[in-house]
Homo-oligomer: A and B are copies of this chain.
Amino acid sequence: MSDTDIRPGERAADLPPAADAQLRFIGRARTPFASRADCPRQGRLDGPDCALELDLVWADALEGLERFEHADVLYWLDRSRRDLVLQSPKSDGTLRGTFALRSPVRPNPIGLSRVRIVRREGARLIVRGLDCIDGTPLIDIKPEACAYTPEAPAKAADGA
């Protein structure tokens, strides 16, 4: 099935072009998955080593990330259609809302993987747990929230 097909029962919205904010790609994911058919549905923390290859301007932005065990990686699934409201992932007529799925088909096709940090090599971060095709554009990397304590002082709304 191609990215432009629609399955029985699926509903597309009629939308103007997306124009609310602009992304800047920060690099590319290097994975052993050459095509969409090769990609797993979900990455595994014991999966193969992959690399987050950052553009050189962002190399130092990795400083200090290795002290975390896990990171959240955001990437852009640029081959996905963006207008489906209801989807039938099993192609059996059963419908789910787009926001009840982690399908790449969504109004903003941003993939999110929680990865295990293996090591840093300059502007490259070696990780496990990615599920995307080789060459996927990267948008952001954040230390995983549960292990993260903000460096800036707490504010009133953070409570005791």
* B-chain residues with CB within 8 Å of residue A18 when the two chains form the complex: 22-24
- Known contacts A39-B157, A42-B158; is-contact A62 B23 (Cβ 8 Å): no
Whole-angstrom CA separation of A19 from B24 in the bound complex: 6
* B-chain residues with CB within 8 Å of residue A64 when the two chains form the complex: 96-97, 100
Whole-angstrom CA separation of A110 from B139 in the bound complex: 9
The reply on A20 being an interface residue by CB < 8 A is yes
* B-chain residues with CB within 8 Å of residue A107 when the two chains form the complex: 24, 26, 58, 61, 140
The answer to whether A157 and B90 have CB atoms under 8 Å apart is no
- Report the copy number of this chain in the oligomer: 2
Q: Residues 74-107 of chain A: 1 if any B CB is under 8 Å from the residue's CB, otherwise 0? A: 1010100010011001100001111111110011
**Interface, chain A (partner B; CB < 8 A):** 11, 13, 15, 17-26, 33, 37-42, 44, 57-58, 60-65, 67-68, 71-72, 74, 76, 78, 82, 85-86, 89-90, 95-103, 106-108, 110, 112-114, 131, 137, 139-143, 145, 148, 150-159
